[in-house]
Amino acid sequence: MRKKERHRIITQLLSEHDVKKQEDFVEILAQQGVTVTQATISRDIKEMKLIKVPAQNGGYRYSIPRKEQEDVNEKLTDLLKEAVISVDRMEKFISVKTLPGNASACANLLEKQFMKSLFTILNDDDSVLMIARTEEDAMRIQQDITEKSQNV
């Protein structure tokens, strides 16, 4: 598995689980069919600049630094203003049409921004398809994208 894909999965895991130890990453990834060593996870944690924050049930858990989350929002807003042509929704599906060559970057930032509300996200060169977990999530995501792009 490529590092970029593994980092994407790790980011998603952080939103779904209280990961307290590197071994927890290894175990959860193994349950998803991803074989990885603790040493690889250690490198990933450093590269992703993960931090430990207090967990709800005591102890500490890994998290994405707050500053990085703010950067994602700012980058996403800038990219949406420049690259989005249209946003449409049908039930849990959100379609975002972009200028050619912008969909991959858009998909990456959209996934980081809305990871808790998304089931999955797909893209090609000029379009992004997001599948939300609920119709309410889809409506909220569409509204947020539309507000951020301001030219749709």
Phi, psi at residue 18, to the nearest 5°? Answer: -90, 95
The length of the chain in residues reads 152
Please say whether the beta carbons of 152 and 87 come within 8 A: yes
pLDDT confidence of residue 91: 97
Q: What tens-digit pLDDT sequence spans the chain (152 residues)?
A: 788 888 988 988 888 888 999 999 999 999 988 899 999 999 999 999 898 888 888 889 999 877 656 678 888 899 999 999 999 999 999 999 999 999 988 999 999 899 889 999 999 999 999 999 999 999 999 999 999 988 54
Helix H or strand E encompassing 93: strand 93-98
pLDDT confidence of residue 69: 60
| CA-wise closest residue to 123 among 78, 91, 79 | 79
pLDDT confidence of residue 72: 80
Compute CA 78 distance to the chain's CA centroid, rounded to the nearest angstrom: 17
